[in-house]
């Protein structure tokens, strides 16, 4: 049993190393420029180890993209409208130092090269935000007449566009500020005034101490 546990732990570490290396290579070179040999070399592993865990670079790219929500955990407890805001701020701040999030932001723009229709990253984020917005409606924060799904799509599209422009203009240094700006414009049109007044912004909503 002890040997099995050690073997399983080693396999987990190897897979994590491949995901990290893949994220770094995809982030630097994009999907087309990356190769399984470059990823294996970056991880310090053999091609055999790479193919044991991932059948192709397409499979690894899909894992990186679909793992994005698991890596975006707001540092403060919240729900409803504040949680939707916190999710986007945590994502924006995380892109600066998380190679997997950075790679995901780049790969999502190239997803037609490796992603299946049912594995759409935009849809993932839309579902998460729509759930938060429906909770916000139940808490009487967001107007009942608001279309939660349409709003979620709008926010995801705005965040995607913001990170593209921020990448070009500041290397994503101002991305959190762009996300805050987006929310400050959107909130008065979807939320009741008392909820707007309660919303908290700032770095402490998106990064841990």
pLDDT in tens, 56-78: 999 999 999 888 898 999 999 99
Q: Kindly state the greatest CA–CA separation across the chain.
A: 60
What does pLDDT average to over the chain? 91
CB atoms closer than 10 angstroms to residue 3? 7
Check residue 127 and give its pLDDT. 95
Coil, helix or strand at residue 83: helix
Check residue 115 and give its pLDDT. 65
CA distances from 197 to 77, 81, 82, 191, 202 (A): 18, 12, 11, 10, 14
Coil, helix or strand at residue 140: coil
Check residue 81 and give its pLDDT. 98
In the chain, which stretches have pLDDT less than 50? Answer: none
Task: Quick: pLDDT tens for 69-108.
Answer: 989 999 999 999 999 999 999 999 999 889 999 998 888 8
Dihedral sign (CA 117, 178, 198, 90): positive
Check residue 116 and give its pLDDT. 54
User: What is the phi/psi pair of residue 79, to 5°?
Assistant: -150, 170
Q: What share of the chain is helix, strand, coil (3-state, %, to 5)?
A: 75, 0, 20
Integer Cα distance of 133 and 115 in angstroms: 27
Domains and CATH numbers, the chain: 2-64 (1.10.10.60), 68-205 (1.10.357.10)
Burial class (CB in 10 A: 0-12, 13-18, 19+), 85: buried
């Amino acid at each position: 049993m002890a040997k099995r546990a050690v073997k399983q732990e080693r396999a987990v570490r190897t897979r994590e190393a491949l995901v990290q290396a893949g994220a770094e290579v995809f982030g630097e070179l994009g999907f087309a420029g990356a190769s399984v040999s470059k990823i294996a070399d970056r991880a310090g592993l053999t091609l055999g180890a790479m193919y044991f865990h991932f059948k192709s670079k397409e499979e690894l790219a899909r894992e990186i993209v679909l793992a994005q929500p698991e890596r975006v955990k707001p540092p403060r407890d919240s729900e409803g409208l504040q949680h939707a805001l916190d999710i986007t701020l945590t994502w924006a701040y995380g892109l600066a130092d998380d190679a997997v999030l950075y790679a995901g932001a780049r790969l999502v723009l190239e997803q037609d090269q490796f992603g299946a229709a049912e594995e759409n990253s935009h849809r993932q984020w839309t579902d998460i935000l729509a759930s938060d917005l429906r909770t916000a409606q139940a808490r009487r924060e967001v107007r009942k007449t608001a279309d939660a799904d349409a709003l979620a799509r709008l926010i995801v599209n705005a965040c995607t566009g913001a990170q593209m422009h921020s990448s070009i203009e500041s290397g994503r240094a101002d991305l959190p500020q762009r996300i805050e700006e987006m929310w400050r414009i959107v909130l008065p049109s979807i939320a009741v005034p008392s909820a707007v007044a309660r919303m908290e912004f700032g770095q402490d909503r998106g990064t841990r101490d």
